[in-house]
Structure 1
Amino acid sequence: MKKRLLVSVVDDDESVRESLPDLIREMGFNALAFNSAEAFLESDSVVRTQCLIVDLKMPGMGGQALVSTLRRLGISIPVVFITANQSSAIREQLLGDGAVACLFKPFSDAELSEALLHAVCEK
C-alpha cells in the first residue's frame, strides 16, 4: 500500500480547519489541521509534513512568521498561503519569497488541487 503524503493546514478559522482537511483527503492526501502556528510548531507533524497550507494572518504568529521560523530551524516544506486579502502585491511577494502558491479565499477545489500537485512535484 502506498503511503499518502501529509498536508498540514494551519488556520485560526474553525470552518476552514473542519472542511479543508476533508477536501484534501478526497484528493488522495493525509491531512491534519492546527488552530495556530504555535500548535503546529509544537506538534510532531512538522517533520512529517510534505506540504503546509497556512493562513497569512492569524492571532499570534502569522503564516509568514511561521515559515520564517521553519526556515531558521532548517525545515523546508513547500508552502501554500491562503488569505482573504485579495492583494496581488501580497501574492507576488509571497511567491517571490518561495511560496508554491497564494490562494485567495474563497478558492476553488481546482485551485487547491493545482497548488497541492505543484507542491508535491517540487519536493
Structure 2
Amino acid sequence: MKKWFLSFSLIVMVTLAACGGEDSNGDQDAHEVTDKIILEATNFDFDQETYEVESGDITIELLNKEGMHGITIDELEDFELQGDERKTVHLDPGEYTVRCSVPCGEGHMDMVATIVAN
C-alpha cells in the first residue's frame, strides 16, 4: 500500500510541475521582444498599439483579419505591404509609425501603430 501511495504521489508531483502556467520570469502578460512582427489588421484597428523588437533585420508580416488593408512606415522610404505580405527590413533603434495605406472606411485615419526597436 505504501509503494502505491508513493508512486501515485510522485506521478502527481511530476504532472503538476510539468503543467506550470507561467513563463520563466513569472510575467504572463509581458510583450515578447522578437525579430518578427505580425500585424493583424481588422477594420480600423491593428491588434496592438505598440510592437517591440530588437533593432536589426526584422521581418514584418501583415495579416488581414477583416477588410482589406496595407501598411506603410513613415520613417522607411519605399516600404509598403498590401494584403497578406511580408518583408524584411533593417530597423535602427527608435520608434516607427505604421499607418494603414488602403482607404478602408471612416476609421481609416485612426489605423496607426508604433514599432519600438531597442
TM-score normalised by L of structure 1: 0.29
State the structure with bigger RCO (CA 8 A, min sep 6), 1 or 2: 2
Larger Rg: 2
Structure that is richer in strand per residue? 2
Query: What TM-score, normalized by structure 2, do the two folds share?
Result: 0.29
